[in-house]
């Protein structure tokens, strides 16, 4: 089952419509904070000042909305909750999830193997995307990664087949690795901020169920086209995506 719905995941027919513990795992890439949004499309300096050459096509995540989303994720998820976050959002996400009853387990990193340089040249560029790794109450902790560190290689999404379809799109290889580490075949995965549908595509390839939402009609349409072109990829032999991440 792959259900990618149009609309707001926090509307009554979004996450609030799901039953408690309805999904096995959530992997979410919500909007970042206002400061990160403002700097996302910076250009080179002009006259000694930083210059923003554009804006992300969606609103940043406010503190109140972050708390509401965290409460819904803790309610609908039975096992793992994995959230991409900006550097200044790590502690707010951890606090919000624990306030909602989930257990903050670890901060992970998706290390950018082909990072975009800092165009202003006056400071280091961001080296990674940060991952908040939490677990819902009730079930014991179990994942498929053994004792490995919470670090994943993350090539730029522009190298994916079809190129980059969304300004904050995550690479397909990264989502495959996260799914293989945190979910089991046949498990239902939720992404309430689906973007161009990368998590949904990875779920379809790896035999996971999916339920998610995308607010933008344009990106929702792009995601549906990607899903139409996606087939399940059964592996009889050879390394998993996660093993390739370590060996490659």
Sequential pLDDT tens for the chain (248 residues):
899 999 999 999 999 999 999 999 999 999 887 677 666 555 455 555 555 555 667 777 888 999 999 999 999 999 999 999 988 899 999 999 999 999 999 999 999 888 777 766 777 888 888 999 999 988 899 999 999 999 998 887 776 777 776 677 788 999 999 999 999 999 999 999 998 899 999 999 999 999 999 999 998 999 999 888 877 776 544 555 555 554 44
Sign of the dihedral through C-alpha 130, 135, 140, 143: negative
pLDDT of residue 192: 96
- Phi, psi dihedrals of residue 43, rounded to the nearest 5°: -110, 180
Cα radius of gyration (the chain): 18
On whether the CB atoms of residues 212 and 191 are closer than 8 A, the answer is: yes
Number of domains in the chain: 1
**CATH code assigned at 64:** 3.40.50.150
pLDDT of residue 229: 86
Quote the domain boundaries for residue 24.
Answer: 2-247
> Residue for token digits 């040249």?
121
Taking the model in full, what pTM does it have? 0.87
pLDDT of residue 116: 77
């Amino acid at each position: 089952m792959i259900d990618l719905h149009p609309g707001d995941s926090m509307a009554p027919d979004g996450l609030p419509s799901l039953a408690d513990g309805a999904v096995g795992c959530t992997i979410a890439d919500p909007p970042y904070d206002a400061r990160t949004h403002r700097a996302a499309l910076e250009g080179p300096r002009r006259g000694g000042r930083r210059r923003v050459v554009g804006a992300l096509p969606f609103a940043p995540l406010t503190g109140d909305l972050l708390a509401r989303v965290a409460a819904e994720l803790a309610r609908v998820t039975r096992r793992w909750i994995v959230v991409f976050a900006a550097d200044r959002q790590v502690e707010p996400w951890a606090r919000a999830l624990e306030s909602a009853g989930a257990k903050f387990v670890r901060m992970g990193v998706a290390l950018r193997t082909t990072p975009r340089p800092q165009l202003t040249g006056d400071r280091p560029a961001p080296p990674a995307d940060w991952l908040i790794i939490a677990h819902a109450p009730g079930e014991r902790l179990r994942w498929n990664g053994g004792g490995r560190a919470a670090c994943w290689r993350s090539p730029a999404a522009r190298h994916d087949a079809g190129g980059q379809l969304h300004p904050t799109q995550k690479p397909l290889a990264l989502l495959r690795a996260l799914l293989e580490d945190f979910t089991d075949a046949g498990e239902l995965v939720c992404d309430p901020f689906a973007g161009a549908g990368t998590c949904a595509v990875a779920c379809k390839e790896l035999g996971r169920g999916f339920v998610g939402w995308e607010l933008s009609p344009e990106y929702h349409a792009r995601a549906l086209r990607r899903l139409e072109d996606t087939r399940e990829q059964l592996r009889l032999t050879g390394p998993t995506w996660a093993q390739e991440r370590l060996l490659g």
